[in-house]
Structure 1
Amino acid sequence: MIFALVLLTAYLIGAIPTGLLLTRMVGGGDIRNSGSGNIGATNVYRTIGRKLGALTLVGDALKGALPVLAANTLFGDNLYQVGAVSVAAFLGHCFPVYLGFKGGKGVATALGVYLVLSPLAVLGAFLTFAGLVWKTRYISVGSISAAAVIPVLVWFTRGSLPLLLATLIISSIVILRHRTNIQRLFAGTENKFKA
């Protein structure tokens, strides 16, 4: 019963639309009607500004980190339960009940999850992300590549099958949710990052 309640709570926390709430608070309207239409940090950054984009990133990461921290405290000896809570928080962001199950791509929320599961894996994924964004100027290339490598990094740093399975699910969904970016990359119409 406690596990089911924690799973539901993790999903509901993950479903909080940070970018949408923050842009409305500053009078920026509905972020879904601006830029790419995504509720995540990259679209907020591009359409509203750096500060709000950074706040969205932090808020979305916390939505992933806090439920996993709670799961570690409650179920630390059962990594299948910790992994399930990780996936629930992530799914909340991608498919939020509050927005008709139409959410973000999940990169920042996955980051929060991974920071708790394996900070060392996050370091490796961040270096991958930063290097590719620096080289290509495409945030999507960095995000997709980091998502692709992090399950391997989690496996090498934690050696846990349940956490590997959780990270494979999360990373696969992150990549799938970038399919329009992938199409734009092949078409040469993807937006480049401007610092």
Structure 2
Amino acid sequence: MTAALFLLIAYLLGSLSGSLLLGRLRGVDIRTLGSGNAGGTNALRTQGWKFALGTVLVDVGKGVLAVWLAQAYGGGAAWLPYAAGLAAVVGHVWPVFHGFRGGKGAGTLVGALLVLWPLAVLVLIATWLLVLSIGGYVGLSTVLAAVSLVPLAVLTAADDTRLVFSVVLALFIAFTHRGNLARLRAGTEPRFERARIWSRLRRGAA
């Protein structure tokens, strides 16, 4: 019962979507704008950096809180904080308070990892920045950043709970970004050209 309660709390926290809550204050629903996604990238593209920053802070914060509550008051079960982190990510993607139409889970995952596995956040961000600076595709960068958790777990001899968590989250983030991957294969995925630092450096060197 205790575990079920904390998983429910984590899911409900995850269902508090930063972009949709802030959007209500502004009188907009970003799911009707841009890509139609309720995440930080679409918030940035359609509402500007201040709105996007607020979105990210809420989405990361709820991941932190969900895991911390399970860790501090969940009775010491080693698996529960990881399950709470996953529940918060699921809540972000399918929020009960917003018609089960949310974001793609990356920001909330970062929040969960800040408590569960701080080293992974550094690897996640480094991978994301590297891939983005090469290709300019935000979705692909996010998927590969999540996938990087798996080799990190193997290389650091993580326990079974952390390894399973890494695999499940990598697959889940790939699933939530399946539209991006499909557009990438079709050659229609939008590219963030300003982020392609290596391409500009090569042109400058030439």
For this structure pair, what is the TM-score category when the shorter chain's length is used for normalisation?
over 0.9
Task: Give matches, 1:165-176, under 5 Å.
Answer: 165-176=164-175
1:5 alignment counterpart: 5
User: Given that residues 143 and 177 in structure 2 are in contact (C-alpha distance below 8 angstroms), is that contact kept between their aligned partners in structure 1?
Assistant: yes
Q: Taking structure 1 as the reference length, what is the TM-score of the superposition?
A: 0.92
2:126 alignment counterpart: 127
Q: How many angstroms does 1:3 deviate by?
A: 2.0
User: Given that residues 76 and 82 in structure 1 are in contact (C-alpha distance below 8 angstroms), is that contact kept between their aligned partners in structure 2?
Assistant: no
Worse overlay, 181-190 or 7-16: 181-190
1:147 alignment counterpart: 146
1:37 alignment counterpart: 36
Task: Give matches, 1:1-150, under 5 Å.
Answer: 1-27=1-27, 29-75=28-74, 77-150=76-149
Per-residue displacement from partner, 1:89-126 (whole Å, max 9, x unpaired)?
11111111122322211011111111111111111121
Unmatched runs of 5 consecutive residues or more in structure 1: none
- The two structures, once aligned, show a CA RMSD in angstroms of 1.7
Per-residue displacement from partner, 1:115-145 (whole Å, max 9, x unpaired)?
1111111111211100111111111121010
User: Given that residues 69 and 116 in structure 1 are in contact (C-alpha distance below 8 angstroms), is that contact kept between their aligned partners in structure 2?
Assistant: yes
Worse overlay, 178-187 or 31-40: 178-187
User: Given that residues 2 and 74 in structure 2 are in contact (C-alpha distance below 8 angstroms), is that contact kept between their aligned partners in structure 1?
Assistant: no
How many Å separate the matches in 2 of 1:49 and 1:32? Answer: 15
How many Å separate the matches in 1 of 2:3 and 2:87? Answer: 12
Task: Specify the structure having the higher radius of gyration (Cα).
Answer: 2
The one-letter amino acid paired with 1:172 is L
User: Given that residues 14 and 91 in structure 1 are in contact (C-alpha distance below 8 angstroms), is that contact kept between their aligned partners in structure 2?
Assistant: yes
How many Å separate the matches in 1 of 2:161 and 2:16? Answer: 26
Q: How many angstroms does 1:81 deviate by?
A: 1.4
The 1:54–1:155 alpha-carbon spacing in structure 2 relative to 1, beyond 3 Å, is: farther
How many Å separate the matches in 2 of 1:156 and 1:83? Answer: 19
Q: How many angstroms does 1:148 deviate by?
A: 0.7
User: Given that residues 62 and 112 in structure 1 are in contact (C-alpha distance below 8 angstroms), is that contact kept between their aligned partners in structure 2?
Assistant: yes
Unmatched runs of 5 consecutive residues or more in structure 2: 196-206
Q: Percent identity?
A: 40
User: Given that residues 15 and 98 in structure 1 are in contact (C-alpha distance below 8 angstroms), is that contact kept between their aligned partners in structure 2?
Assistant: yes
User: Given that residues 13 and 89 in structure 1 are in contact (C-alpha distance below 8 angstroms), is that contact kept between their aligned partners in structure 2?
Assistant: yes
Per-residue displacement from partner, 1:152-180 (whole Å, max 9, x unpaired)?
32454472211222232222111111111
The one-letter amino acid paired with 1:129 is W
Q: How many angstroms does 1:18 deviate by?
A: 1.1
